[in-house]
Amino acid sequence: MSSARELRPLVRRLLSDAFWTLVHNAAAVLGGLALVKLISALVPAREFGQASLVLGVVALPTQLVASPLLPAHLRLWFDHGRTESTAEFLRAIEPALLRCAAIMAALYMAIAIGYRIARHHGCLRLAIPALLLIVLTPHVNAAFSLLEARRRYRDLALGQTLARVAPVLFLAGLLALPLSRSSSVVLAHALGLGLVFMV
């Protein structure tokens, strides 16, 4: 009887965590479907191809540079999380995140210049929204990993859901502006991460 009472809080927490994970997964699927529907209806295939290439090139330095940084960031949190506040911890790792973003930006620009030499102008033409996305990515990923380390799964699910849904909303608005469609797609992703970072 006492063991059942001891398990109740654990079961409640497990159900709560499972619910918020389900919310995130459902939002990711629905946000992805809405984004594909919006893009396929309003963005010509050539411009979507340019935007996809840029987003892929952005993903490469993210995987090469930011991904190894996050496990190190989590190890630091577990070492210092009991003695430092979250704000102090984030201030301490900010220089590392900025260096990470600078390295990622340099890699992106090197790839973009390489594409330019090969007569593909898209990566260089979309450099400003791509660089904005590159600067925001390690910061948002660090915030997500910190939420996970602190077991704040509801906040994590809400943040990740916002990161999936916000680009759809931004893209709908950006397509009404006199921007190229490919710029709108990349900028919508950057603005979506920016919103998550500010929240």
pLDDT tens across 126-137, in order?
888 889 998 888
Higher pLDDT, 5 or 56: 56
pLDDT exceeds cutoff 60 at 83: no
pLDDT of residue 18: 79
Rounded to an integer, the average pLDDT of 83-91 is 66
Q: Tell me: pLDDT of 84 over 70.
A: no
Domain enclosing residue 141, as ranges:
2-198
Q: How many domains does the chain have?
A: 1
- Per residue in 56-79, pLDDT (tens digit) is 888 888 787 777 776 666 666 666
Question: Is 70 exceeded by the pLDDT of residue 42?
Answer: yes
- Higher pLDDT pick, 171 / 90: 171
Q: Rounded to whole angstroms, how far apart are CA atoms 126 and 183?
A: 6
What CA–CA distance (Å, rounded) separates 170 from 190?
A: 9
pLDDT-derived band at 13, boundaries 50, 70, 90: confident
Q: Is the pLDDT of residue 93 over 70?
A: yes
Q: What average pLDDT does the segment 87-109 reach?
A: 82
Residue 178 has pLDDT above 80, yes or no: yes
Residue 142: pLDDT above 70?
yes
Closest residue by Cα to residue 166 from 187, 143, 146, 136: 187
| pLDDT at residue 82 greater than cutoff 60 | no
